[in-house]
Each structure stands twice: as C-alpha cells, then as structure tokens.
A and B are shown apart, each in its own frame.
Chain A
Amino acid sequence: MNPGAVLLLAAGTYAMRLAGPLLRKRITISERWERLLGIAATVLLGAFVVTGGAVEAGEFAGVARVGGVLVAGVLAFRGAPFVLVVLVAAAVTAVLRLAGVG
C-alpha cells in the first residue's frame, strides 16, 4: 500500500470535512444531491463487495471465497451482528478450502 495515496485520501477527506463548516453560511446543498451522493457511495461499496468477493488479480477467486461471502450476505440481511457476519465468512471459506473446494 502506497503512503502517498493514504496522505492524498486523508487530505482530501479533511478538506471535504472542513468545507462544510467554513461554507455553511454561504451555500445550501439540496436534499436530492445529498441523497444522490449517498447512493453513489453505496454503489461503490457494492461494486467493491462483488469484485473483492469474486475476483483475485483479474481472475475468478474461487468457490470457497464466493461461498463465504454469500453466506455472510444472507446473515447480514437477516440482521446478524457484524462480528458474526465477518467470522462466518472467514469460517465458511476456510472450511470449504479444507474440504478441497477451490
């Protein structure tokens, strides 16, 4: 991981955090735009979940990892606690690999 990328992300994030308090007397952002930004961020995360779950270096990451993420997804949709979701994802993937599934 590149320290320069970390610094750029940190500086940009801080700038966006500070801009609101500095500019709040001068502008208003419409609620529609606010929602659209929120949706865009969720779409990015969703795309990250499917690529991170199914792809490794441009290739299919294997049934074990996809299986782990799918089971975790079902648990998350049923309102399971975060810790459980993450642990089950890892456990299912590890067990599938132990059983020789790719």
Chain B
Amino acid sequence: MRSLWRTMRSLWSDKLIRDLAALIPALAVVAASLGAIAVTKGVPLWLITFTAAVVFAGGSEFMLVGLLTGGAAPATAVLGGLLLNARHFPYGLAVGDLLGSGWRRLVGSHLMIDEAVAFALAETTHARRRRAYWITGAALFITWVPSVLLGGLLGQALGDPNAFGLDAALPAAILALLVPSLRDAPTLRAVLAGAVLALVTTPVLPDGMPVMVALLGVALALPVRRSPEQEVAQ
C-alpha cells in the first residue's frame, strides 16, 4: 500500500500526468457522445468503433457521421474530413523527429493528434518532448476508442433520439470544440462568412455541398498574418 501511495504521489507531481488526468475524462465524454450520436443516427456500433480506431481524429469523425447520416455524398464527406485533417501534415513536419524511425515512425504517426503535438511542443528538451508525445498519444488512443464503444452501447438503450434532443447534441458538440479558435478576429470573420454561404446555398445545392462552398469564406481571413502571438511581440 505504502509503495503504491508513493508511486501515486510521484505520478501526481509530474505535470504531464496531471494535465492528462484532467484531459482524459473530458475526452472520454466527447468520445462517448460521438458513439451515442452515431448509433442513434443508425450507424452500426462496430462501424463507429472501427472508425474511432482507424481515423482517430475526433473532429473529422463527428463530421463524417453528421454528413453521411444527413445524406451527403460519400465523396463530399471524405473530402471534408480530409481537409479538416490536413493540419496533421504541418504537425508532422514539426514533431516528426520525436517519432524515431521504422515501426516507431509508422505507429507514432497514427498517434499524431492535436493534444499529443501540443503537449510535446510545450516541453523544453528533446527527451521530454519525445516522452510527452508518446504518453499523450497512447493515453488518448486507449481512452478514445473504448469510450466511443461505451457511448454507442448507451445510445442503443435510449430509443427515439429526437425525444431526448440528441439531434442538437452533435452541432452543439462541434460548436463547443471550435469556440476557442473563434477568439481570433480573422478566423471569426471567415467562419461567419462561411456559415452564411452554407445557409443560403442549402436550398439549391445537394446535401453536404453547402459545407464545401463555405470554404470561400476563408477569403475574408486574408491576408494571413504569421500568428497572433507574433503580432503582439512586434
């Protein structure tokens, strides 16, 4: 007991582990809501769990479920998801040296998610960055996939999802995820313009297309400055 207590205390004194302990329950809830929403929209439980394991990029999983169960063409949904995940390419340029080579690089690439990259970049030495990347990526993977499955099982027990207002949960979940990025003025302008474009083209375009048309809103964020932090520094 004593040594267990000591181990717990030394784990708790590690900032990375503390931050992860705060993050993991929140992520489990996001994953469980994805599972529940998908199942109540008619996606088989195995398929949403499989999606969680092989895609392992939450935003695009929500988007895929929303667009495909909303009747969008599969090509539109895939393209939307890929655009959303394109940020992983610059991520890889930034943290690629932490992965090692050979099979480590193959496995480590799959664990590349926003949180793993953010935690890694917050560390100062190469060894600590490497450790933060792998621990975060692995911990969130073994949280994400079972939580999606569990949420799906709960969703199956619910019955008519609309009676519980679950159809509002998916857009609300995505809104909550993107609110922090909206504090940047050019991003907010682009998002508002995109939202208006999507709404006005909805009656005339096939399902899923208005979301793509919204990309024209990006023009309102131009010209793109380097980053808000650098603006302040200058």
Contacts and interface: CB of A to CB of B under 8 A. Distances in A.
Interface of A: 1-10, 12-14, 16-24, 27-29, 31-58, 61, 64-65, 68-69, 72-73, 76-77, 81-83, 85-86, 88-97
Interface of B: 26, 29-30, 33, 38, 42-44, 47-48, 50-51, 54-57, 59-60, 63-71, 74, 77-78, 80-97, 99, 105-106, 108-110, 112, 162-179, 181-182, 186-187, 190-192, 194-195, 197-199, 202-203, 207, 210-215, 217-218, 221, 224-227
B191 A42 contact: yes
A29 B181 CA distance: 21
28 contacts: A1-B48, A1-B68, A9-B77, A13-B82, A16-B86, A17-B91, A18-B105, A19-B92, A20-B91, A20-B93, A21-B108, A32-B224, A38-B87, A40-B215, A47-B194, A47-B198, A47-B210, A49-B171, A49-B174, A49-B175, A50-B195, A52-B174, A56-B70, A64-B165, A85-B172, A85-B173, A90-B165, A94-B164
Contacts of B215: 40, 43-44
Contact of A45 (B84, B94, B202): B84
B169 A20 contact: no
